[in-house]
Structure 1
Amino acid sequence: MTHLLSFTVEGLTCALPLAETRQVVGMVELQPETGKRRGGAGTMNLHGRAVPVYSLRRLLGLADRQPLPTDVLIIAHPTRECVALWADGVRGVQESPVELPPETDATSPPGMLLTEEEEIIIYDLGAFLAAEETAQHSLPGTAGTGEEAPPYDDGKGDEILAERARAFARPEEEAGGETPFSELLTFRLADREYAIKTQYIREVFIMHEITPVPGVPDFVAGICAVRGEIISVVDLRALFSIPKHGLTDLNRVIVLSDGTVTFGILADYITDIYIRPTDQFSPVEPETTPIEQRYLLGVTDESVLVLDAAAILGDPAMVVGQTRK
């Protein structure tokens, strides 16, 4: 099965392979277009890099409107360059039983698949962005039936968008990798739900085969190949002394990276992805988890433990059989 990031556009349910997404952020103030792109809505400054923003409303032939603070930008990478997709909101991560075409089907809108449940799956984002105008009749007749966006005072809304834009425009070194909002991917492990900021997640894939390695710490489950790259796979249960309840048949590997160190962590399954203000994390009571406080950012209102990926990746003990750049 394929993990899909599910989102909404004017009442339509759409999805994109999670492997093609980098992170989800709140809508920001956009810079004007310098040329003409189909569906082009402007550009955003992502830590000094201009990222083209595409309006999914325009790409799907729907009525256009001004950006709202409640809208989201899905940062994706159909090629080596990032793009941002402007959507109304994110619903979460799901496993799709639908078999996606291995390549663009010439009989359908390029890169897009409409399921029996009237969900639009953009399985080939590159082909979808490069396609001609999408015919209105090719979409399910549910557009405009979603919940209306909450009203915002124009001045206040513009203020929020401008402030977010300034935050994302700061160099990563200055911003410390932080934003006013945290984009979290949540996962299940040993009967508890955990979360990690998506900025440290390179990809998620189904675990096929892990090769054990002798002489490594107990928390290293082994190594595996990811598109020709050999990475270590860490079992957080062993690393943090979390009581084991056995692995399910839906084991996943979440690949973490800070640009210097890369390794995977095991998860039973992915549960969600959403945006949360950073200041809404509550302190973790030590008696509620065996995980040391230095590896925790806090706990959400839903009792999800937020792991500090930067602390985990930066721990010298995690560098096993590899050299930092």
Structure 2
Amino acid sequence: MTHLLFFTVEGIPCALPLAEIRQVVGMVELRPETGRRRGGAGTMNLHGRTVPVYSLRSLLGLAERPPLPTDVLIIAHPSGECVALWADGVRGVQESRVQLPPDASSSPGVLPTEEGEIIVHDLGAFLAAEEIAHHLLPDGAAVAGGATPPHDAEKAGEILAERARAVARPKKENGETPFSELLTFRLAGQEYAIKTQYIREVFIMHEIIPVPGVPDFIVGICAVRGEIISVVDLRALFSIPKHGLTDLNRVIVLSDGTMTFGVLADYITDIYIRPTDPFSPVEPDTTPIEQRYLLGAIDGSVIVLDAAAILADPAMVIDQTRK
């Protein structure tokens, strides 16, 4: 079963095979490049390597706008080449719901679905195509004259420049990267983050079967490609108060090779990397979660959970003999 990374471009849901993606980083300040290539937005320095950046807006024939800190760069490697794709944001990882037959569309490497999604099943062919894929766009998509969302241009420029300096730093000689890759998600009005090394996959919640006699924080069990896993509600586990309406429709599957279970989230907000400098302390009264489950905070308000500590918690091991 093929897994796809879903992302958005001007509100249009798009996807790429997860196997072609190396990582996702926050948007950085781009460097100009000489020459012209279709969809070319500039280049970025990724650990000392110059990587071409493609604007998916341009490739799809949408209106261009300046980069924003909320944008993302999807680092992919079609046919062994390293490229960066500029998108608006990441939605998460899902199993493919469509078959990808050869010559599936009139635009090379791309398959539009009946649900209005654009599946880029062959990135190399899509980038090499000579024409803009206007016909792939849903009715009403803005192909010209798009407006830039309100933002502080000076502050945005500072953020993009700092990120560019961070990702340009070389990797350590022992092969370890000086960065942490994080997935951020929303839960009960608060944004949390988990290191992606502990995340096996993310999927839209389907049927969860309740199990009698288990702790309140165990919502139930569900089948994931033939494997039965338990699903945990972190709000109940950590006594997190509910704030307004929530829509727990995402399951983040955590694993350390020994323990595996899913946790509920309202939605995925971002996937990006940051330097492995110490995280900021979590401000008092920000969260009821005990300090032993926290690594710290980033960007002032995003709380980084210690997935290793959560996975190792003895409370997660259900005693099947308990009455």
Q: What's the TM-score, normalizing by structure 2?
A: 0.61
SS of 2:3's partner is strand
Is the contact made by 1:22 and 1:202 (CA closer than 8 Å) also made in structure 2?
A: no
Q: What's the TM-score, normalizing by structure 1?
A: 0.61
Is the contact made by 2:74 and 2:86 (CA closer than 8 Å) also made in structure 1?
A: yes
Partner residue in 2 for 1:51: 51
Partner residue in 1 for 2:270: 274
SS of 1:58's partner is helix
Per-residue Cα deviation, 1:75-116 (whole angstroms, up to 9, x for no partner): 112232321100112222233322233xx4164311111111
Alignment partners' CA distance in 1, 2:90 and 2:97? 20
Q: List aligned pairs for 1:172-191, cutoff 5 A.
A: 172-173=171-172, 177-178=178-179, 182-184=181-183
Matched pairs, number: 256
Q: List aligned pairs for 1:279-294, cutoff 5 A.
A: 279=279, 282=282
SS of 1:7's partner is strand
Alignment partners' CA distance in 1, 2:3 and 2:120? 12
SS of 1:132's partner is coil
Unmatched runs of 5 consecutive residues or more in structure 1: 187-193, 207-242, 257-261, 313-325
Is the contact made by 2:54 and 2:84 (CA closer than 8 Å) also made in structure 1?
A: yes
Alignment partners' CA distance in 2, 1:82 and 1:97? 27
Alignment partners' CA distance in 2, 1:82 and 1:265? 34
Partner residue in 1 for 2:137: 139
Alignment partners' CA distance in 2, 1:79 and 1:270? 36
- Do the aligned partners of residues 305 and 82 (structure 1) sit closer, same or farther apart at CA in structure 2, a change above 3 Å counting? same
SS of 2:79's partner is coil
SS of 1:79's partner is helix
SS of 1:172's partner is coil
- Do the aligned partners of residues 246 and 8 (structure 1) sit closer, same or farther apart at CA in structure 2, a change above 3 Å counting? closer
Partner residue in 2 for 1:158: 157
Alignment partners' CA distance in 2, 1:303 and 1:161? 22
Q: Which moved more, 1:109-118 or 1:69-78?
A: 69-78
Identity %: 59
- 1:123 matches 2:124: no
Partner residue in 2 for 1:226: none
Alignment partners' CA distance in 2, 1:268 and 1:86? 30
Alignment partners' CA distance in 1, 2:178 and 2:36? 32
- Do the aligned partners of residues 123 and 282 (structure 1) sit closer, same or farther apart at CA in structure 2, a change above 3 Å counting? farther
Shift of 1:57: 0.8
Alignment partners' CA distance in 1, 2:305 and 2:178? 20
- 1:88 matches 2:84: no
Shift of 1:166: 0.7
Is the contact made by 1:183 and 1:273 (CA closer than 8 Å) also made in structure 2?
A: no
Alignment partners' CA distance in 1, 2:156 and 2:108? 35
Shift of 1:25: 1.2
Alignment partners' CA distance in 1, 2:126 and 2:198? 24
